[in-house]
């Protein structure tokens, strides 16, 4: 259930018998022909579908993350690392203050991972709290499903193209994009990143059949739900 669909009295009643919560982390950044909110849409939807049968509340996705390399693409918003870590820390402090003790963070954006290290530090002063960090798209079972479907999968490619991240009236290219490998090379400035990546797809096809995408999605939801149910001690 979404916190957005609850009032404070319902949250208080829930905390009388359970202390789990889900916090989705997203981003607002270029995703080629897909929505700028792909990471937030996917993280929150993943969290809601995984938590719904368990009755665990899901907080709204944090819609801004760390994505300075895409700032040459209009619509992208990036927080400084120090700002982002402070925001996530403040959110966790708020949840713990209310009585939540088991928190699953469902992260939808690779650039947000510095917060994972901060969470480990934060837990040192909160010994009764348990937090799991879950990069849902690259969790073991989900990533295996992605690779079995098409090993050429990347940012803004088919692997993020679900019915709920597409935009009406926007046609997808029918090609398979291939860019040179940049392993071992310096990081790109925002302007250089736009020049190199072009439309924003890093590599791969832009779209695959919906039945393949739904199968991957269902694997990811089940994997996420298992994290909510087990191994909290």
Q: Which H, E and C letters describe 65-77, residue by residue? A: ECCHHHCCCCCCE
Percent of the chain whose predicted confidence (pLDDT) is above 70: 100
Q: Are 31 and 160 in contact (CB under 8 A)?
A: yes
CA angle 106, 83, 198 (to 5 degrees): 70
Question: For 94-153, what is each residue's pLDDT tens digit?
Answer: 999 999 999 999 999 999 999 999 999 999 999 999 999 999 999 999 999 999 999 999
- pTM of the predicted structure, to 2 decimals: 0.97
d(CA 113, CA 221): 21
pLDDT, averaged across the chain: 98
pLDDT reported for residue 233: 87
Question: For 53-71, what is each residue's pLDDT tens digit?
Answer: 999 999 999 999 999 999 9
pLDDT reported for residue 19: 98
d(CA 165, CA 73): 18
d(CA 35, CA 208): 17
d(CA 69, CA 65): 12
Length of the chain: 233
Confidence of residue 29 (pLDDT cuts 50, 70, 90): very high
Q: What domains does the chain contain, in order, with CATH numbers?
A: 3-229 (3.40.50.10310)
Question: For 151-163, what is each residue's pLDDT tens digit?
Answer: 999 999 999 999 9
Q: Are 162 and 42 in contact (CB under 8 A)?
A: yes
């Amino acid at each position: 259930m979404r916190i957005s669909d609850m009032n404070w009295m319902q949250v208080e009643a829930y905390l009388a018998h359970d202390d789990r919560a889900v916090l989705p982390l997203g981003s607002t950044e270029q995703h080629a022909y897909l929505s700028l909110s792909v990471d937030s849409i996917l993280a929150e939807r993943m969290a809601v579908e995984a938590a719904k049968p368990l009755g665990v509340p899901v907080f709204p996705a944090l819609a801004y993350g760390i994505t300075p390399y895409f700032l040459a693409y209009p619509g992208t918003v990036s927080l400084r690392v120090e700002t982002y870590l402070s925001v996530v820390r403040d959110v966790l402090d708020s949840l713990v203050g209310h009585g939540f003790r088991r928190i699953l963070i469902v992260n939808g954006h690779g650039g947000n991972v510095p917060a994972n290290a901060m969470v480990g530090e934060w837990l040192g002063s909160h010994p009764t709290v348990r937090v799991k960090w879950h990069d849902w798209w690259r969790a073991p079972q989900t990533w295996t499903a992605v690779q079995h479907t098409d090993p050429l999968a990347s940012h803004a490619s088919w692997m993020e193209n679900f019915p709920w991240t597409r935009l009406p009236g926007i046609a997808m290219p029918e090609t398979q994009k291939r860019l040179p490998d940049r392993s071992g090379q310096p990081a790109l400035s925002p302007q250089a990143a736009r020049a190199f990546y072009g439309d924003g797809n890093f590599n791969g096809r832009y779209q695959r059949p919906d039945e393949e995408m739904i199968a991957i999605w269902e694997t990811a939801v089940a994997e996420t739900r298992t994290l909510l149910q087990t191994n909290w001690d």
